[in-house]
Structure 1
Amino acid sequence: MSIERPWLDHYPAGVPADIDVNAFRSIAAVLEESFQKFRNRPAFKNFGKVLTYGQIDELSQAFAGFLSGELGLKKGDRLAIMLPNLLQYPIALFGALRLGLTVVNTNPLYTTRELHHQLEDSGAKALLVLDNFAATAQHALDGTKVQHVITTAVGDMVGFPKGNIINFVVKNIRKEVPAFNLPGAVRFRTALERGKAHPMPAVDIGHDDIAFLQYTGGTTGVAKGAMLTHRNMIANMLQADAWISGSATAGEEIIVTALPLYHIFSLTANGLVFTRLGAMNLLITNPRDMKGFVKELSKEKFTAITGVNTLFNGLLNTPGFADLDFSRLHLSLGGGMAVQRSVAERWKKTTGVTLAEAYGLTETSPAACINPLDLKEYNGSIGLPISSTYVQIRAEDGTVLPIGEAGELCIKGPQVMKGYWGQPEETAKVLDAEGWLRTGDIAKMDANGYVYIVDRKKDMILVSGFNVYPNEIEDIVMHHPGVAEVAAVGVDDEHSGEVVKLFVVRRDPSLTVEALKEYCRENLTGYKRPKHIEFRDALPKTNVGKILRRELRDEERKKKQAA
């Protein structure tokens, strides 16, 4: 059965209909090519310190040497990495991938409960963690298979004296490192030193080997590990590379990496695609410090930037951003959440560059649709399906809907995950026998193949590009002795796109909003915490007693419209 691809006629010049996923056997092979080709070029920059491709090659070999020679880790073993954007991240990531390990990217902001679930579920044998989050790790390790811990401080790879000053300030002045006790933990720099004594073993890594367990809520509940193989990641790198090749120059790009590299969008687009291009990744460790972020940007004539809508909006609202030198900027890519028209229009006016929206999921490694980069202005679409990618809009019963009709967006391509780690039932819910992934997003396609997101099928809340699942929030809040019933919904927010609002029926009439917020602060990562809490006598329900979140959401929308 041939599937129509109306979008091919509207591809930018030079973009192929399909990519050759067999061009590389593994991500390691892609990295080796870049290390040789761009050996003396800058690869990563952070806090003013630059590491070249040659240095990253040697350091990642040393890290691989330590993991294999000293810790005995072998192909297929899981290594959890719990770091923000620091020079340590690419060294550890590339070392692990070259060894054939499976990388478990871990959000440093996780609570003990969230981290414990991920370590236990993935079966990780080793953990690399920043000192700032080591106390959380200490309490999360019990009952997991983690045998080895490597710790590091923010400035460890920045060099003397600047790195030492950064570490002193973070620990003693800002007090950002809670006391922790991890007996037997090895320091990152010690690991690199010891690793030099062990040559990196030659490992046969193939397409079907799992490169990442990338945790996501998928379409429901508790976080699941999407199994992203070397084939999935190579495919998405080549797909994105084909899409941007007309506007990107190998060995000359400087890409701003403000989204954390543990997030699939930044990991693939910045960490892998631009490494293949020989670009310099400008790592921003704390993009929330917008003034500091703009100061970093003022030092570089950057050529590309990726981000979520909230990031672009934050930059536009920060004094000094409009005065930066945008003369070399040619690529601005927004993903992770919907790009708002008002933000896109302001971005174009300020920088002179169109903010192109892309769409993807953790389950698609992530890119599935991207707008042409020569787009004259924001068009409200998530773009065209990229090379080797098939898209259909389907009705509830699975029939393919005609152009212009809204239904569930389904995706097929070499970047679609292998499935969820250890969860065949959950995998079967979203992935059919032919390889079609049900996204849970409601979309429509126009005659030219442009895809438009209409709504989300599920009740998922999208806070600054991060998925928040009401089931998880409600589950935690229901553990509070003063709560009888709860519903969590997403409400519009001009900064984050959406934020969490709780509707609560109290068991204890003396329970206050502040007390419940404090409880959530202890049990939920920042972006999952409710910004609004409303107490009610009852919640709307179906005839079988299921709480109607949709009704609550609609109420909120009407209130906002009336206001």
Structure 2
Amino acid sequence: MPLAYPAPDVWSLIADIAAESPSATAFIHGERRLSFAELLDGAARVAQGLADLGVGPGDRVALWLPNILAYPIVYFACARLGAIAVAVNTRYRAVEVADIVGRSGAKVLACAPAFRRIDFLSILADIDPAALAGLSALVTVGEEPPTIPPAIETLRRVSFDRLLSRPALATNHAMSKAPCNIFTTSGTTSAPKFVLHRQGAIAGHAQQVARVFGFAAPETVTLSILPLCGVFGFDQTMATLAAGKPSVLVESYEIDELARLISRHRPTTLFGSDDLYARLLDEMPGECPMPSVKWAGYASFNAALGDLPERAEKRGLLLCGLYGMSEVQALYARQPVDSAVGRRKVGGGIVVSPLAHVRVRDPESGRLLGIGEPGELECAGPSLMVGYYGNDKATAAAITADGYVRTGDFAELDPYGGFTFLSRMGDVLRLSGFLVNPQEIETHIQKLAGIANCQTIAVARPEGVRAVSFVILEPGTPLDEAAIIAHCRRDLANYKVPLRVLAVDDFPKTPSPNGFKIQRNKLRELAEAELDRGRFARS
């Protein structure tokens, strides 16, 4: 199991700041500003309210909430109680919500059924009442809807405002070793696993990120665009709090609203995906549309936006590649802000904690690899998970005997003391005995006019494993499969040339806190079905 490192508890993270600077702003939401003292007081009151509902140390409280003030208040209330906050993705629907609430054994579910941007009420209406039978209560944020769905009409319902009216919980159960967070993995082929973290890992990582990222600067403001139910948005916000600085909670993903908030609040750091930054740059005119932003952490999901960091830099926005996952927390590593764009644009970087360490292992031989040799990334350090809640078998498979997490990511060590993320191991193609990053093929195909996006998978055929590419075409562009294959054959090794190129309107996806992840297994099934029908051009 991972080594234990000394770290504060989650409650002390904000209590110490509230003691020193009680009026300092912790959160901004709309026109409301919540100070650290108010955050601490509200969380202590909600902790008593949750205790009245039977919640105690080790119990689970499911947080199915958007980025509103209730989220951090309930979260820190759980920390004071020694309870575990279970993050429920706001993109999830009835089956997924019921599964997570049921398998986690949550005592309380907090949600905002009248929230205007997400139709929680309709989702609740589709849940089988039996699936929520284990809950002792439902905490509702905002007005209760006029129509009560069957799934919750028999449940005890308590308003968030009522919890806020309780006296502060006198006893503090927060401890560094106490479990406090469950994040769900976003697997596309099985039920999500529950990634469990202790308070010391959460609080210590927040403090370390705040130091390395320079959040102690007086002018620091971050925009919490990414949902708090995901580790990326959560860790960004916790690091900002650890520095005693304000986070602007963003509940809308409409690009014009995000642009307005950036202009109004002048954040010093942003975090998001390449798609988000591309849309913001299109929306915001001028040579330097975000002058307050010193640098922006980003994750690359769209191979079609490979030149985005170069384009962004020309307009004054420095994008820095990051690395993280639920098992090691987000912001585990970052490319140096002062490095050249060619290095800065790729995922990975230098680990944030001086106690963290990475290595790369050959997935077949088990040999540890050197610089520039791609294999499976393994991570160690104080931000690692305890394990998968309720799944000892999966925990044993994921964590090595000497305390490293097997990430399932394809990466290589770099000459600078860091590493470069290449792709998920499950996405790696083994073609003619060689490991091939599918992005190499995808990026090459997307150089052709009319190709909006591309995904490449591998399929087993009698003649060997071959690549098959799926493309989304620009409106009005016909598919010229022969031309695409010829384009690949001219410039790529023969074993990398796709056997087929198929056009789709969209890629099959599954929701994750940071957007949607492409279901490559579904693409593989489509490719195999197409090939089995015998309609392919033999190369």
Bin for the TM-score computed over the shorter chain: 0.7 to 0.9
Separation of aligned partners in 2, 1:55 and 1:88: 12
1:417 has 2:385 as partner: yes
* Residue 376 (structure 2) aligned to one of 394, 408, 413: 408
**Number of the residue aligned with 1:366:** 330
1:487-520 deviation digits (Å, cap 9, x = unpaired): xx9957799xxxxxxxxxxxxxxxxx99x99xx9
Q: Is the 8 A contact 2:371 2:413 kept in 1?
A: yes
SS at structure 1 position matched to 2:529: coil
Which amino acid counterpart does residue 349 of structure 2 have in structure 1?
G
* Residue 281 (structure 1) aligned to one of 217, 237, 247: 247
Separation of aligned partners in 2, 1:96 and 1:242: 26
**Number of the residue aligned with 2:89:** 107
Q: CA deviation at 1:336?
A: 7.4
**Number of the residue aligned with 2:36:** 53
Separation of aligned partners in 1, 2:217 and 2:421: 33
**Number of the residue aligned with 1:206:** 175
**Number of the residue aligned with 1:484:** none
* Residue 443 (structure 1) aligned to one of 375, 389, 411: 411
1:66-91 deviation digits (Å, cap 9, x = unpaired): 111x2121011100011111111111
1:143 has 2:131 as partner: yes
Which amino acid counterpart does residue 228 of structure 1 have in structure 2?
H
SS at structure 2 position matched to 1:58: helix
Which amino acid counterpart does residue 310 of structure 2 have in structure 1?
E
Which amino acid counterpart does residue 48 of structure 2 have in structure 1?
G
Structure 2 gap segments, 5+ residues each = 114-118, 429-437, 440-467, 475-503
**Number of the residue aligned with 1:5:** none
Which amino acid counterpart does residue 266 of structure 2 have in structure 1?
K
SS at structure 2 position matched to 1:538: helix
Q: CA deviation at 1:452?
A: 1.6
Which amino acid counterpart does residue 276 of structure 1 have in structure 2?
A
Matches within 5 A, 1:147-166: 147-153=136-142
**Number of the residue aligned with 2:309:** 344
Q: What is the CA RMSD across the aligned residues, in angstroms?
A: 3.6
**Number of the residue aligned with 1:188:** 160
Structure 1's 368 and 105: CA in aligned 2 closer, same or farther, altered over 3 A? same
Separation of aligned partners in 2, 1:249 and 1:61: 26
* Residue 292 (structure 1) aligned to one of 257, 262, 270: 257
1:399-431 deviation digits (Å, cap 9, x = unpaired): 111221111111111111111111111112221
Q: CA deviation at 1:390?
A: 0.9
1:22 has 2:6 as partner: yes
Structure 1's 321 and 305: CA in aligned 2 closer, same or farther, altered over 3 A? farther
Which amino acid counterpart does residue 297 of structure 2 have in structure 1?
L
Separation of aligned partners in 2, 1:536 and 1:412: 38
Structure 1's 530 and 370: CA in aligned 2 closer, same or farther, altered over 3 A? closer
Query: How many residues align structurally?
Result: 448
State percent identity of aligned pairs: 23
**Number of the residue aligned with 1:486:** none
Structure 1's 400 and 178: CA in aligned 2 closer, same or farther, altered over 3 A? farther
Which amino acid counterpart does residue 127 of structure 1 have in structure 2?
L
SS at structure 2 position matched to 1:33: helix
Q: Is the 8 A contact 1:408 1:440 kept in 2?
A: yes
Structure 1 gap segments, 5+ residues each = 1-18, 157-166, 172-176, 463-488, 496-512, 542-551, 559-563
Q: Is the 8 A contact 1:445 1:451 kept in 2?
A: yes
**Number of the residue aligned with 2:192:** 223
Moved over 6 A (4+): 492-495, 523-526, 528-537
Separation of aligned partners in 1, 2:372 and 2:288: 41
Structure 1's 275 and 450: CA in aligned 2 closer, same or farther, altered over 3 A? same
1:43 has 2:26 as partner: yes
Structure 1's 404 and 33: CA in aligned 2 closer, same or farther, altered over 3 A? same
Separation of aligned partners in 1, 2:124 and 2:218: 38
Which amino acid counterpart does residue 342 of structure 1 have in structure 2?
D
SS at structure 1 position matched to 2:212: helix
Structure 1's 237 and 21: CA in aligned 2 closer, same or farther, altered over 3 A? farther
